[in-house]
Amino acid sequence: MSSPAAAAFNLTVNGVGFFTGVTLRVNGNSRPTTLVSATRLTAAITAEDIAAAGTLQITVINAGSSPSNSLSLRTYDRVTSVTSSSYSAGDLAPDSILSAFARTLATGVEIAASLPLPTRLLGTRVVVKDSAGVEREQSLFFVAPQQVNYLLHPQTALGPATVTVYINNDIVSLGEINVARLSPGLFTQNATGDGAPAAYGLRLKGGASTLEPVTVVNYDQAAKTWVPAVIDLGADNDQVFLVVFGSGFRRVSGLSAITAKIGNVTIPVLFAGAAPDFVGLDQLNLGPIPRSLVGSGLVNLTVTIDGKVANTGKSIQLNIK
């Protein structure tokens, strides 16, 4: 038997010879027990019982008799997977970049050095069993003792799925995810899902185009905080576009299903899809930035894709001169 270390739950045990007053024991300690029949009982397993990975010894004892034979219940650490772009909880999309967290996931740190991405690094591998019952090893970007970044396989069926992490073929953690068609997230410069976006600007001026950074952050001494670098919209005939990077939205139903706003001003959406030459990375082309935003200062960029808000609960900021 096995269970991911998690919240308390009721354990059902089948056997023979269970009588009124029967008690289930975990590592020799009694737990509240309900007699269902002479061949079945249930007992409350506490969160403390499964707080750490290990093996629980389960026995049953009738009043005034000796304990039964012992069964082993293996417990594992719980692994939590989130989108790497924003670390927001919720649905996860096939062909997107995920980050998994648990107490033990790898014996060291290793980064994938070539394409196609490997499915094993330092002996660590991630297996996802989808709602159709198909198990697939996932492609790995990097592994570390408490974090693994992986690509959720493009063919993963929608619905609930289980995630199992192995080190040298031994299970070290288990978890669950829910797979949906979209899970939009935007990368930010500080890798938290907040602040300046991972993006660049494209300025069109007099028939010529130039690339401009918009992800640089500067320290505001007066406010004692980091703020995004200024985007200068320039002269009236300048046009400034944004190219923003994220993950989990390449399967959007169409551009009409995307709304992008800077502050309260809607900005046109020109492209949404897979970014060329990067595994799992998506790209959003926006613009031109409306001239009505000149002088806005710090404003939030909000993107909604097929009804789902990117980076829920976080603020993506631009600084417009």
Calpha distance 8→136 (Å, rounded): 29
Question: CA 49 from chain center: how many Å?
Answer: 27
Beta strands 110-111 and 199-205, pairing class = unpaired
Q: What domains can you pick out in the chain, each with its CATH number?
A: 2-76 (2.60.40.10), 79-179 (2.60.40.10), 185-320 (no CATH)
Spatial separation of the C-alpha atoms in residues 125 and 8, rounded to whole Å: 28
Digit-by-digit pLDDT tens for the chain (321 residues) are: 444 445 688 999 999 999 999 999 999 999 999 999 999 999 999 888 887 778 899 999 998 899 999 999 888 889 999 999 999 889 999 999 999 999 999 999 999 999 999 999 999 999 999 999 999 999 999 999 999 999 999 999 999 999 999 999 999 999 999 999 999 999 998 888 988 899 999 999 988 888 877 656 666 677 666 678 888 998 999 999 999 999 999 999 999 999 999 999 999 999 999 999 999 999 999 999 999 999 999 999 999 999 999 999 999 999 999
Beta bridge partners of 240: 203
d(Cα 13, Cα 15) in Å, to the nearest integer? Answer: 7
| Separation between Cα atoms, residue 301 and residue 252, nearest integer Å | 19
Could you give the CA distance from residue 291 to residue 2 in angstroms, rounded to a whole number? 60
Please give the single-letter amino acid code of residue 284.
L
C-alpha neighbours within 13 Å on the C-beta side of residue 219? 2
- CA–CA distance, 29 with 101 (Å, rounded to integer): 31
